[in-house]
């Protein structure tokens, strides 16, 4: 599910789509109808994947210029079981590219902050803080490694623009700063590569912990319903056919 917070026509269009999605979500008969059309292989894959989903860790992507990098980070996040991503943009437009993301954005709850009259970084930070997340940013000046992070509180892992890195706003509000070890001449890693280097050991540590990182049953049900809708092409046509049957 993508909740886009852009201005103008796109936000109005998205609000209409959200209303439609809510209608579908509350139509149990229609959801059962969609479920009956799921291929067995997809049904088994969903059953395999859903228990490993988490919101204990979420990904934040701030002003990344190259949509290929954004799509790659989403792909890595989804592959590791992260259910939620927050995309912070000003005048930059994120373009989903299935050849890179492999459709990862279809299986995640992705929130985009792009209002021209607001400080989008601060808006995102406030939303995450209200939900109890620690903000974690990478910095070459940091002394702590990803393995040293305290996982008891939920974590929002923030990745910044290719050339400038994370913004001063995120740095100022960060609860933790971590470094990625470097042993060569280059000053930094590609942001998508850096995301993989941070998220993989973090998620491995989380899954081995005693923390209750999984979605609860009600959250799993909501996610499952959204997956049914996202997987179905020509959703409105199917809904019309269902109602006329």
Burial of 164 (C-beta count, 10 Å sphere; 0-12/13-18/19+): exposed
Give the predicted TM-score (pTM) of the model: 0.87
- Print the domain residue range for 43: 1-52+215-245
Kindly state the tokens that stand for 100. Answer: 């890179």
pLDDT of residue 1: 44
Quick one: 199 and 89 in the same domain?
A: yes
Task: Give the E-state strand segments of the chain in sequence order.
Answer: 2-6, 57-62, 84-88, 109-114, 134-138, 155-159, 176-178
Could you tell me whether strands 57-62 and 155-159 are parallel, antiparallel, or unpaired per DSSP bridges? Answer: parallel
28 and 59, same domain (yes or no): no
Instruction: Specify the number of domains making up the chain.
Output: 2
* Helix 40-49 × helix 217-231 angle, to 10°: 150
pLDDT value at residue 28? 85
pLDDT > 70 fraction of the chain, expressed in percent and rounded: 85
Residues 15 and 66 both lie in one domain: no
| Whether residue 9 is found in the same domain as residue 116 | no
Give mean pLDDT, residues 138-148.
Answer: 90
pLDDT digits (tens, 9 = 90+) for 78-87: 999 999 999 9
Tens digit of each residue's pLDDT (9 = 90 or more) over 144-176:
999 999 999 999 999 999 888 899 999 999 999
| pLDDT at position 60 over 50 | yes
Give the confidence band of 96 by pLDDT, cuts at 50, 70, 90: low
> Where is mean pLDDT largest: 30-34, 67-71, 106-110, 214-218?
214-218
Instruction: Examine the domain organization and report whether 68 and 170 are in the same domain.
Output: yes
Q: What CATH number does the domain containing 70 carry?
A: 3.40.1280.10
Are 234 and 191 contained in the same domain? no
User: What pLDDT does residue 13 have?
Assistant: 39
- Order across the sheet with 57-62: list the strands: 2-6, 109-114, 84-88, 57-62, 155-159, 134-138, 176-178
What confidence category does residue 116 fall into, taking pLDDT thresholds of 50, 70 and 90? Answer: low
Could you give the CA distance from residue 64 to residue 68 in angstroms, rounded to a whole number? 9
Please tell me whether residues 91 and 149 are part of one structural domain: yes
The answer on 183 and 82 residing in a single domain is yes
Asked if residue 198 and residue 93 are part of one domain, the reply reads yes
Nearest in space to 142 (alpha carbons), one of 176, 189, 192, 191: 176
Task: Judge if 174 and 226 occupy the same domain.
Answer: no
Q: Looking at the structure, do residues 2 and 14 belong to the same domain, yes or no?
A: yes
Same domain, 48 and 73: no
């Amino acid at each position: 599910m993508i909740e886009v917070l852009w201005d103008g026509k796109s936000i109005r269009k998205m609000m209409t789509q959200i209303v439609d999605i809510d209608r579908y979500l509350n139509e149990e008969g229609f959801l059962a109808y969609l479920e009956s059309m799921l291929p067995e292989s997809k049904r088994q894959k969903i059953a395999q994947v859903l228990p490993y989903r988490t919101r204990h860790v979420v990904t934040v992507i701030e002003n990344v210029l190259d949509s290929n990098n954004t799509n790659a980070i989403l792909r890595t996040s989804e592959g590791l079981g992260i259910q939620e991503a927050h995309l912070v943009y000003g005048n930059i437009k994120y373009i989903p590219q299935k050849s890179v993301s492999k459709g990862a954005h279809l299986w995640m709850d992705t929130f985009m902050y792009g209002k021209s009259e607001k400080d989008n970084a601060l808006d995102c930070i406030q939303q995450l803080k209200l939900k109890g997340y620690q903000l974690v940013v990478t910095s070459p000046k940091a002394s702590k490694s990803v393995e040293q992070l305290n996982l008891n509180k939920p974590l929002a892992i923030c990745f910044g623009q290719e050339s400038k890195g994370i913004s001063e706003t995120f740095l100022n509000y960060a609860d933790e700063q971590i470094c990625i070890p470097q042993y060569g001449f280059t000053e930094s890693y590609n942001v998508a590569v850096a995301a993989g280097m941070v998220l993989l050991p973090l998620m491995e540590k989380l899954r081995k912990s005693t923390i209750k990182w999984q979605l609860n049953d009600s959250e799993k049900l909501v996610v499952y319903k959204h997956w049914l809708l996202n997987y179905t092409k020509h959703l409105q046509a199917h809904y019309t056919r269902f109602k006329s049957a």
